[in-house]
Amino acid sequence: MFEKILIANRGEIALRVVRAAREMGIATVAVHSTADSDAMHVRMADESVCIGPPSGAQSYLSVPAIIAACEVTGAEAIHPGYGFLSENAGFVQVVEDHDLTFIGPTAEHIRIMGDKITAKDTMKKLGVPCVPGSDGGVATLEEAKRLGEDMGYPVIIKATAGGGGRGMKVAQNAGEMEKAFLTARAEGKSNFGNDEVYIEKYLTTPRHIEIQVFGDGKGRAVHLGERDCSLQRRHQKVFEEAPGPAISAEERAAIGKVCSDAVARINYTGAGTIEFLYENGEFYFIEMNTRLQVEHPVTEAIFGVDLVREQIRVASGMEMSFQQEDLTINGHSIEVRINAEKLPNFAPCPGRITQYHAPGGLGVRMDSALYDGYSIPPYYDSLIGKLIVHGRDRPEALARLNRALGELIVDGVDTTVPLFHALLQEEDVLTGNYNIHWLEHWLETNLGDG
């Protein structure tokens, strides 16, 4: 087992990794920008190294600075968290070249799954059901139009290098194709340096269902069921739950096995998430994330496992601590993402926290790096906390969420908390009757957000 690991991230996820490492008796090194000198992850880690100025590009994304921080502190392995360098195959290669261990999959797996066309092709060959669409990239507008006619509108044009909801455009009909095609290409080029796009049938009322998988890198893998992350704004998740209210035990077992078999066959290492759209009882693969997800705690809650601990174990060469038959679901869990954003338009709202009180009690987990007097810097993501509840069943989890939101105090900045209070009044949310468009419609109707 490692003696010391470095965490190449900030905020709640850096704290999350510090906590797992500490329970395992592993020392931690935090890295931080000059804007994060007073951040909680810096205070909680055993050591810290300043790696650059505020801008992410010059600090949390600076590969030389992070490798140098490992060398000066003697850290043997790097946990990347999510975002930043977590899905950067080039970084993983550099880490390995310096005889350090990346706590995550291989550079090759990240490369395969980071390119959406290659990912889809690989998954298709591994027997995973995919959204019908073009065979690989679509080079010209004429070809795109022909495919639109053949498949039938609506279709979605996606940048193969896209992510975070960027580089995707829907064409409802032939008249919208030219704009959608050119915009998706331009967004791919400007955000990800790659203008290749492909086309998929646009599903009109699907749910977003993702399967958590975990592999040991030696051909063994398990699945930990699904999360329903259908409540999204601009393709960004805001409310996640496990198990999915629309998924039966039989469906879970079947799609779970397809996913664990697929990752076992490619000798996948560590945590991964296979994302699907789910409509009329069918699953359609959209992408795989080769890292820990923001919403991993809902899976931890219902299975009673620590996924970060497991990532560290497997990266150090140990066996996984569970097998498929050890994994049984207990109750229901919901996570809401608390962002420093001002409604109705979700404008980022950095600033000083004048008062912070985290909710507690049975079945409540608050993953946050906030504290009284903390100043949220304007340079990074607006996620400031995740409130996760666990109950014996969905109604109990919902009641607990309502109660915990009532206890939470975040003063000094605007947050998305009022959104969740409002959503918990909605019959569709209470019954789990929603798809990926539900929240956008609700926001438009109730807040005029569009």
- Contacts to ligand ADP by CB under 6 A: 131, 156, 162-165, 168, 200, 202-203, 206, 208, 232, 235, 275, 277, 286-287, 436
CB of 62 to ligand ADP, least distance (A): 24
Nearer to ligand ADP by Cβ, of 42 and 286: the residue is: 286
Phi, psi of 430 (to 5 degrees): -65, -30
Min dist. Cβ of residue 208 to ligand ADP (A) = 4
Could you give the residue numbers annotated as active site? 291
Q: How far is the CB of 188 from ligand ADP (least distance, A)?
A: 11
3-state SS string for 74-140: CCCEEECCCCCCCCCHHHHHHHHHCCCEECCCCHHHHHHHHCHHHHHHHHHHCCCCECCECCCCCCC
Query: For residue 150, how far is the Cα from the chain centroid?
Result: 33
What do you get for the CA distance between the two ends of the chain, in Å?
50
Residue type, 279: E
3-state secondary structure of 339: strand
Contact 374, 38 (CB under 8 A): yes
Q: Note whether 278 and 285 are within 8 A (CB).
A: no
The neighbour count for residue 385, using CB atoms within 10 Å, is 24
Dihedral of CA atoms 195, 199, 205, 210 in degrees, nearest 10, equals: -70
Nearer to ligand ADP, 36 or 287 (CB): 287
Cβ at position 161, least distance to ligand ADP in Å: 10
Residue with Cβ nearer ligand ADP (251 or 440)? 440
For ligand ADP, the closer of residues 52 and 225 by Cβ is 225
Q: How far is the CB of 76 from ligand ADP (least distance, A)?
A: 31
How far is 384 from 309, CA to CA, in rounded Å?
A: 23
For ligand ADP, the closer of residues 187 and 306 by Cβ is 187
